Amino acid sequence: MKNRKAATFLYLLGDRGIIDMGIRRAATVEEAVLRVRRRRWYCAAVLNDIEADLTALQGHIGNKMEDTNLWKHESGFKSNFSTFETWRMVRETRTQCDWVKDIWFSQATPKFSFIAWLAMLDTMPTMDRVSRWNQGVDTICVLCKNAHESRDHLFFECSFTSQVWEHLVKGILSNDYTKDWHEVVQLITDSSMEKKKLFCIRYAFQAAVNTLWRERNKIKHDDKPMLLHALKKMLDKGIRNKLSLVKAIRGKGMEEVLQFWFSTRL
Ligand SMILES: [Zn+2]
């Protein structure tokens, strides 16, 4: 502190602040502290705060301790640097959304969860959103060519995507089956549901959202999309592979999850 340049602490004030306080640009903190003999008052509140801090430091000047670097943590200044603490100090904190664990659940496939997360927030570049900043674009759904594209349409009002969704979950949900986005969200966030049933629905939801979004993008980029029956088969196989792994891990409440999946195939 003795040798550190006071101006590095005062740079935000600019020259005006430094001149008002009578501190040389090249002054050390020690010089700035010893300069204060009698408490001064300034028009700018920040200068009064700095003056108060400099006055508070007076008792510490004079000891021969060497300068040390300190890092600000939530609990105060410490000599160790922590990326976690620093991130906490600089980030803007918000309340955690209540469905975070329903998307980033145990055994989920991260790339599926990521796309599902975007869908939950409705931040995918679906044509209803694109048309807000790029008027005149074609907003017709490229999968059914029969309605305007939106998040709710793609998942799963669309006559094409709804067939995939129905194939995956109708046997599990029976009378509770729905293709309405908001009702689907209620299902995947229903923690009172039997564990293996909930896992199958959540995983099928994320796999379907990811795969159907990819197919939609293929058509947008003039690539050849998969045929409906091949798409259903591929998704079903991917989910079965996942359930085999989950079965091998033997999570509590997940016993015979693969058999459960087979028993719900129509
Ligand atoms: Zn459609």
pLDDT in tens, 173-219: 999 999 999 999 999 999 999 999 999 999 999 999 999 999 999 99
Strand partners, 72: 77
Query: Cα(214) to centroid of ligand 1, in Å?
Result: 14
Residue in the block written with tokens 């796309």: 115
Q: pTM for this structure?
A: 0.70
- Residue 3, pLDDT > 60, answer no
Q: What is the pLDDT of residue 44?
A: 79
User: Percent of the chain scored above 70 by pLDDT?
Assistant: 88
CA-to-CA dists, residue 167 to 70, 77, 155, 265, angstroms: 60, 58, 14, 8
CA distance 215 to 254: 31
Q: Where are the beta strands (DSSP E) in 59-181?
A: 71-73, 76-78
Residue 122 Cα to ligand 1 middle (Å): 17
Token pair recorded at residue 63: 């000891």
Instruction: Give the number of other Cβ atoms within 10 Å of residue 245's Cβ.
Output: 10
Q: Please give the structure tokens belonging to residue 57.
A: 């430091």
How close is the Cα of 168 to the center of ligand 1, in Å?
A: 18
pLDDT of the residue at 151: 98
Which of 62-71, 94-103, 175-184, 251-260 has the least mean pLDDT? 62-71
Ligand 1 centroid to residue 102 C-alpha, Å: 26
Q: What pLDDT shows up at residue 160?
A: 97
pLDDT of residue 2: 52
- The answer, yes or no, to whether residue 63 has pLDDT greater than 70, is no
CA of 145 to the centre of ligand 1 (A): 6
Q: How far is the CA of 139 from the centre of ligand 1 (A)?
A: 10
Residue 265 scores a pLDDT above 90: yes
Domain boundaries, the chain: 7-90, 100-263
CA of 137 to the centre of ligand 1 (A): 16
State both tokens at 23.
Answer: 């501190």
Using the predicted structure, report yes or no on whether residue 6 has a pLDDT greater than 70: no
pLDDT tens sequence across 222-252: 999 999 999 999 999 999 999 998 876 666 7
> How much distance in Å is there from the Cα of 200 to the middle of ligand 1?
25
Centroid of ligand 1 to alpha carbon of 149 (angstroms):
6
| CA-based torsion, 193, 195, 197, 200: positive or negative | positive
Q: Ligand 1 centroid to 153 CA: how many Å?
A: 6
More confident of the two residues 80 and 36: 80
What distance in angstroms lies between residue 148's CA and the mean position of ligand 1's atoms? 7
Dist CA 138 CA 142 (whole Å): 10
Pairwise CA distance, residues 199 & 102, whole Å: 10
Going by C-alpha positions, the residue among 203, 174, 175 that lies closest to residue 188 is: 203
CA of 94 to the centre of ligand 1 (A): 35
141 alpha carbon – ligand 1 mean position (Å) = 5
What angle (nearest 5°) sits at the alpha carbon of residue 164, between those of residues 215 and 196? 115
**pLDDT confidence bin for 14, thresholds 50/70/90:** low
Please list the residues that pair with 22 across neighbouring strands: none
